[in-house]
C-alpha cells in the first residue's frame, strides 16, 4: 500500500518520519522531475519482483524440505519409540554380580513363550550376544492378561474402570459389548438421534487408518475416536429402541396401520357435530367392538402420540421395562460369580455370598418383576379402571400391611410377600458377617495347627543341647 504525504514545515516532517519509522515504512522523496520519478518507480517494481521471486523460491525449497521430513518422520518416530521402550526395559533389569549381564524377571503367557524364545535367538545371532530364557517355578498369583483388539478395547476399558479381575476369573467384557450399548439405548431410544450417532461413529471407523485422524492431539477427539465402536453400537441400538418407542426426533412415525379405529367409536357412540364441539378431548374405549383392532406390529402405536395421557403411558412402560432389564442384568452378574467360585473351589463364598445375594435380589426385586409381568397378562382393558397398583403392593410388602382398596393380584399374595421379606432380611446378616467369620475361623485354625509344630521343634532343640 502506497501513500503520498505532503507537508509544510520541518517539524511536521520530523513527526511524519517518526510515524513511518514506528510502523517500519519505507520512505522515498517525491522527486520534482517526472523522468526521475518514473525511474525510481521502475526500480521499486523491479526490486519488488525480485523479492517475490526470492520468496517464491524459498517457499518452494521449504516445501520440498518439509515433504522429505514428512516422509522420514513416521519411521523416525517409530525408531525413537522403540529405542525408548528398549531403554525403559533395560532400566527395569537388574545387573548380575559379575556386571557382565542383565537379569529380568517377567510374566509371560504360555502361548507367547515360543515367540519370546525365537526373538531371543534371532537377536543373539544378529548381535553376537547370547540371551537365554528360563522358566522359574512360582507360587504367586499371575497378573491378569486380557487380549483386546480395536473393537473390544473400549469395552474392556469400561470394565477395568471398575476393577481388573483376578487371574483366570470370568471376564464380563464380552457380555458388556451388548449390555452396555443396549442399556444406553433404553434411555436414548430415538431413531433420528441414534442415526446421527451411528453415522458419526461410522465415519470414524471408516477413516481410522488415516494418519491425520490417529495422530491428532485433541483430547476430546481422542476420547471419541477411542470409543468409536462403542458409539457405533450405541447408535445402532438406539435406532432399534427408537423403533420400539416409535420416536424419530421426538416425533411418532406411522409405519404400519394403527390398531385403533376412531370411526368405529364414532359410529357406535353417536358422536354428533354438537357433541364434538362441546368435547375437545375424546376417549377411545377398547371394550367397544371394532375400536381396538389388535396390537401394533412393532413398537408403540403412533396414535398414542395424540393422546393426552401419552407421557404417563410411555413413562410407565419405560419404567417397568427398565426394572425388568436392570434386575435381569444384576442377576446375570451374580450368576457369573458362580463360575468363579466353582473354578477356584471357594464353596464358602458360594454359600455365604452368592446364594444370599440371589435370595435377596430375586426375593424382592425378582418378585417385583413377577408382579409387573403378571399384571400385564392378568389385567385386561375391560378391568383397567379397577386394576391393582403394584407400587402400593410393593410398599405394603415392606410395611407388613394391606390396603383393602387395592385388590390382590392372586390368592395368597400377602403370605407370599411376608415370607419373601422375612427371607430377604434373614440373608442380610449372612451377607455382612458370613465371610468375615469364616475367614476368622480359618485364621484361628491355621494358628492352632502351627503352635504344636513350633513347640515340638523348640523341644527337640533343647534335648539335643543336653546331649551335647
**pTM, entire model:** 0.73
Task: Count Cβ neighbours within 10 Å for each residue of 129-164 and write b for 16 or more, e otherwise.
Answer: eeeeeeeeeeeeeeeeeeeeeeebebbbeebeeeee
Number of H helices, E strands in the chain: 17, 2
**Cα–Cα dist 270/275, whole Å:** 9
Record the cell numbers describing residue 286, joined without a space.
Answer: 377398547
Count of Cβ atoms closer than 10 Å to residue 32 Cβ: 7
pLDDT of residue 124: 83
pLDDT of residue 454: 55
**One-letter-per-residue 3-state SS of 71-107:** HHHHHHHHHHHHHHHHHHHHHCCEECCCCCCEECCCC
Stretch (H or E) spanning 177 = helix 173-187
pLDDT of residue 465: 40
Q: 177-191 pLDDT, tens per residue? A: 999 999 999 999 899
Contact between 397 and 371 under an 8 Å Cβ cutoff? The reply is: no
The DSSP code sequence of 126-167 is HHS-----------SPPPP-----TTTHHHHHHHHHH-PPPT
pLDDT of residue 456: 56
Report, as ranges of residue numbers, the positions in the chain whose pLDDT lies below 70: 382, 452-468
**Cα–Cα dist 236/191, whole Å:** 9
pLDDT of residue 404: 85
- Provide the 8-state DSSP code for 9: S
**Cα–Cα dist 192/208, whole Å:** 24
pLDDT of residue 283: 81
pLDDT of residue 362: 94
Q: How many CA atoms lie within 13 A of 155 on its CB side?
A: 25
pLDDT of residue 305: 87
Amino acid at each position: 500500500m502506497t501513500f503520498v504525504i505532503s507537508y509544510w514545515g520541518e517539524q511536521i516532517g520530523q513527526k511524519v518520519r517518526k510515524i513511518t519509522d514506528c510502523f517500519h515504512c519505507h520512505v522515498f522523496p517525491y522527486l520534482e522531475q517526472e523522468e526521475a520519478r518514473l525511474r525510481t518507480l521502475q526500480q521499486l517494481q523491479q526490486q519488488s519482483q525480485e523479492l517475490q521471486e526470492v520468496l517464491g523460491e524459498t517457499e518452494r525449497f521449504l516445501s520440498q524440505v518439509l515433504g522429505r521430513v514428512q516422509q522420514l518422520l513416521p519411521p523416525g518416530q517409530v525408531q525413537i519409540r522403540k529405542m525408548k521402550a528398549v531403554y525403559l526395559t533395560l532400566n527395569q533389569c537388574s545387573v548380575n554380580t559379575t556386571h557382565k549381564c542383565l537379569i529380568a524377571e517377567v510374566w509371560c503367557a504360555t502361548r507367547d513363550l515360543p515367540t519370546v524364545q525365537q526373538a531371543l535367538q534371532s537377536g543373539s545371532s544378529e548381535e553376537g550376544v547370547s540371551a537365554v530364557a528360563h522358566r522359574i517355578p512360582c507360587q504367586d498369583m499371575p497378573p491378569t492378561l486380557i487380549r483386546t483388539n480395536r473393537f473390544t478395547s473400549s469395552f474392556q476399558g469400561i470394565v477395568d474402570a471398575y476393577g481388573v479381575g483376578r487371574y483366570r476369573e470370568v471376564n464380563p467384557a464380552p457380555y458388556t459389548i451388548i449390555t452396555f450399548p443396549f442399556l444406553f439405548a433404553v434411555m436414548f431410544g430415538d431413531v433420528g438421534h441414534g442415526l446421527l450417532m451411528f453415522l458419526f461413529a461410522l465415519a470414524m471407523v471408516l477413516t481410522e487408518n488415516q494418519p491425520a485422524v490417529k495422530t491428532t492431539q485433541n483430547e476430546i477427539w481422542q476420547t471419541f475416536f477411542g470409543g468409536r465402536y462403542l458409539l457405533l453400537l450405541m447408535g445402532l441400538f438406539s435406532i432399534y429402541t427408537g423403533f420400539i418407542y416409535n420416536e424419530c426426533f421426538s416425533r411418532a412415525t406411522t409405519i404400519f396401520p394403527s390398531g385403533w379405529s376412531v370411526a368405529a367409536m364414532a359410529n357406535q357412540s353417536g358422536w354428533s357435530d354438537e357433541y364434538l364441539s362441546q368435547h375437545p378431548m375424546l376417549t377411545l374405549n377398547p371394550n367397544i367392538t371394532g375400536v381396538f383392532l389388535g396390537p401394533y406390529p412393532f413398537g408403540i402405536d403412533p396414535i398414542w402420540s395424540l393422546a393426552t395421557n401419552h407421557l404417563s403411558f410411555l413413562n410407565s412402560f419405560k419404567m417397568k421395562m427398565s426394572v425388568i432389564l436392570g434386575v435381569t442384568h444384576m442377576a446375570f452378574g451374580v450368576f457369573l460369580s458362580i463360575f468363579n467360585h466353582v473354578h477356584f473351589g471357594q464353596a464358602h463364598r458360594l454359600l455365604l455370598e452368592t446364594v444370599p445375594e440371589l435370595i435377596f435380589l430375586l426375593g424382592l426385586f425378582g418378585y417385583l418383576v413377577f408382579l409387573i409381568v403378571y399384571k400385564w397378562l392378568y389385567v385386561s382393558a375391560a378391568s383397567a379402571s379397577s386394576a391393582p397398583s403394584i407400587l402400593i403392593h410393593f410398599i405394603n410388602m415392606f410395611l407388613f400391611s394391606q390396603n383393602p382398596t387395592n385388590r390382590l393380584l392372586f390368592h395368597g399374595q400377602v403370605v407370599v410377600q411376608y415370607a419373601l421379606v422375612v427371607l430377604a432380611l434373614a440373608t442380610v446378616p449372612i451377607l455382612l458377617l458370613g465371610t468375615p467369620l469364616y475367614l476368622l475361623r480359618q485364621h484361628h485354625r491355621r494358628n492352632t495347627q502351627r503352635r504344636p509344630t513350633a513347640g515340638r521343634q523348640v523341644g527337640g532343640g533343647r534335648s539335643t543341647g543336653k546331649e551335647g
